[in-house]
């Protein structure tokens, strides 16, 4: 960094910009592929010239930008894509690890939802933006209200299903009844309705999909299927053999995308799974509108069919069942598997019924296959022990 301070070791990368935030805090923007920028929040312990380092929770950077410099800070470890810090147990400051080249998807959706009065998300408190050399306003950090006691769906949904399995279908108490699908479906219905309302942020939310867009969805899904099979075969030959046997049914589901019919698009969440839904004293709230972190900007387009969100949520609910089944495999009788299967089926029906509208089952089926293939690609590359969940889901859906 300049201004008389010793240059921070950035691995040989020259900063595109350095933003000073008081005497102890700063943010460096580094050039990244495709015209994007890596965001590196910095801190130093005292007023000296040699100790700039990456900031961590407790350094006071997030509290400083939140306007309460004396407040406590603690990191949220569950956020693997970005860096989120709880400030004073009242606000969350999310630092985006990579921004640009275009405007923030999350910032646009949050501003739009706030403008139309959507209340089932943490209240937005403001953001820090930087104008890139191309003249684009990019959000470096986003502040939102903290929802006390909130748990995400990989906690609360799993816990409810576990209690359901423990008590059985008939004797399950109210708090573990499989209402999960209805609650999520209503939330999704409200979210999609709000996203479809014109605002000063998004003046024309709804558009018809072009033939080129539909062809691109099909091509991407096909490539993801091929990649999932190749990686699984190489990494786990027995699982790969099962996947190859399922391929005809999976391919057929994807190919139905190309049927001749109009397809409506609108702003969607883009990465909607149970982990993006918080359960707290105020009910269910949706978070993280950044889109799928594994996809490029084109695949994370703001406008997509609502079936994309529905398919992602349905897949994640199926995975909730697989997680509980794996954890319970040695602790409960085999009859628990039947209870879990019934829970998955009922939860899917409840969600689709509560979400309303007339979702296209062809789109849902194709997008679900693509989502499961993405999960397999992720498992092969980063988390091999996760492979069991998408494999179990696909085997249940496409019986050999």
pLDDT range class, residue 92, cuts 50, 70, 90: very high
Same domain, 237 and 110: no
Q: Is pLDDT at 51 greater than 50 in this prediction? A: yes
Tokens at 101, concatenated: 């080249």
Q: Is 151 left (phi over 0), alpha (psi -120 to 50) or beta?
A: beta
Residues with Cβ within 8 Å of residue 295, at least 6 apart in sequence: none
pLDDT single digits (tens) 339-358: 899 999 999 999 999 999 99
pLDDT range class, residue 246, cuts 50, 70, 90: very high
Q: Can you give the pLDDT at residue 329? A: 64
Radius of gyration of the chain (CA): 23
Q: Which of 93, 119, 145 is the last residue of a domain?
A: 145
Number of domains the chain contains: 2
Question: What is the domain-level CATH number for residue 218?
Answer: 3.90.1200.10
Same domain, 195 and 51: no
The widest CA-to-CA distance across the chain, in whole angstroms, is 71
How deeply is 330 buried, as exposed, middle or buried, from its count of CB atoms within 10 A (0-12, 13-18, 19+)?
A: exposed
Domain that holds residue 38: 15-145
- Dist CA 268 CA 263 (whole Å): 14
Q: Which of 145, 180, 202 is the last residue of a domain?
A: 145
Same domain, 225 and 294: yes
C-alpha dist (Å) from residue 99 to 94, 102, 103, 104, 125: 12, 8, 8, 7, 19
Report if residue 89 sits inside a domain.
yes
Report if residue 186 sits inside a domain.
yes
Q: Which of 116, 145, 174 is the last residue of a domain?
A: 145
Report if residue 318 sits inside a domain.
yes
Same domain, 122 and 167: no
Report if residue 135 sits inside a domain.
yes
Q: Can you give the pLDDT at residue 1? A: 45
pLDDT single digits (tens) 98-109: 999 999 999 999
Q: Can you give the pLDDT at residue 236? A: 97
Same domain, 243 and 94: no
Q: Can you give the pLDDT at residue 47? A: 62
343 versus 81: the higher-pLDDT residue is 343
pLDDT range class, residue 3, cuts 50, 70, 90: very low
Q: Give yes or no for a cis peptide into 200 (omega within 30° of 0).
A: no
Same domain, 116 and 264: no
Report if residue 8 sits inside a domain.
no
Report if residue 308 sits inside a domain.
yes
Task: Note the pTM of the prediction, 2 decimals.
Answer: 0.91
Same domain, 233 and 270: yes
Same domain, 267 and 389: yes
Same domain, 37 and 121: yes
Instruction: Output the average pLDDT for the chain.
Output: 90
Q: Is pLDDT at 310 greater than 90 in this prediction? A: yes
- Dist CA 106 CA 138 (whole Å): 11
Q: Is pLDDT at 5 greater than 60 in this prediction? A: no
Same domain, 321 and 232: yes
pLDDT range class, residue 82, cuts 50, 70, 90: confident
pLDDT single digits (tens) 278-294: 999 999 999 999 999 88
Report if residue 19 sits inside a domain.
yes
């Amino acid at each position: 960094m300049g201004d008389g301070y010793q240059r921070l070791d950035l691995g040989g990368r020259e900063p595109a910009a350095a933003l000073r935030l008081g005497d102890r805090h700063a943010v460096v923007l580094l050039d990244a592929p495709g015209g994007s920028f890596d965001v590196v929040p910095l801190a130093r312990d005292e007023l000296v010239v040699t100790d700039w380092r990456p900031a961590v929770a407790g350094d006071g950077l997030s509290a400083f930008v939140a306007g309460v410099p004396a407040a406590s800070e603690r990191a949220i470890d569950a956020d693997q894509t970005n860096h989120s810090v709880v400030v004073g147990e009242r606000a969350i400051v999310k630092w985006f690890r990579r921004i640009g080249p275009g405007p923030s998807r999350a910032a646009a959706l949050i501003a739009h939802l706030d403008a139309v009065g959507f209340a089932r998300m943490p209240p937005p408190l403001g953001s820090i933006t930087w104008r890139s050399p191309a003249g684009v306003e990019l959000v470096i950090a986003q502040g939102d209200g903290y929802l006390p006691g909130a748990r995400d769906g990989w906690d609360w949904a799993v816990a409810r299903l576990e209690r359901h399995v423990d008590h059985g279908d008939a004797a399950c108490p109210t708090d573990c009844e499989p209402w999960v699908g209805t609650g999520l479906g209503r939330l999704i219905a409200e979210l999609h309705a709000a996203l479809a309302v014109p605002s000063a942020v998004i003046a024309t939310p709804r558009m018809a999909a072009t033939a080129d867009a539909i062809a691109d969805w099909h091509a991407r899904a096909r490539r993801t299927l091929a990649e999932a099979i190749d990686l699984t075969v190489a990494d786990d030959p027995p699982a790969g053999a099962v996947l190859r046997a399922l391929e005809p049914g999976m391919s057929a589901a994807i190919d139905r995308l190309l049927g001749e019919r109009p397809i409506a698009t609108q702003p969607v969440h883009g990465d909607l799974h149970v982990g993006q839904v918080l359960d707290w004293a105020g009910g269910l709230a949706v978070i993280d509108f950044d889109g799928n972190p594994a996809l490029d900007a084109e695949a994370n387009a703001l406008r997509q069919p609502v079936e994309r969100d529905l398919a992602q949520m349905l897949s994640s609910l199926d995975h909730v069942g697989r997680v509980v089944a794996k954890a319970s495999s040695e602790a409960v009788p085999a009859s628990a598997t039947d209870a879990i299967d019934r829970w998955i089926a009922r939860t899917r029906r409840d969600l689709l019924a509560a979400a309303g509208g007339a979702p296209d089952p062809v789109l849902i089926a194709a997008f679900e296959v693509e989502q499961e293939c993405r999960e397999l690609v992720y498992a092969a590359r980063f988390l091999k022990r996760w492979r069991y969940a998408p494999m179990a889901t696909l085997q249940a859906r496409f019986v050999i």
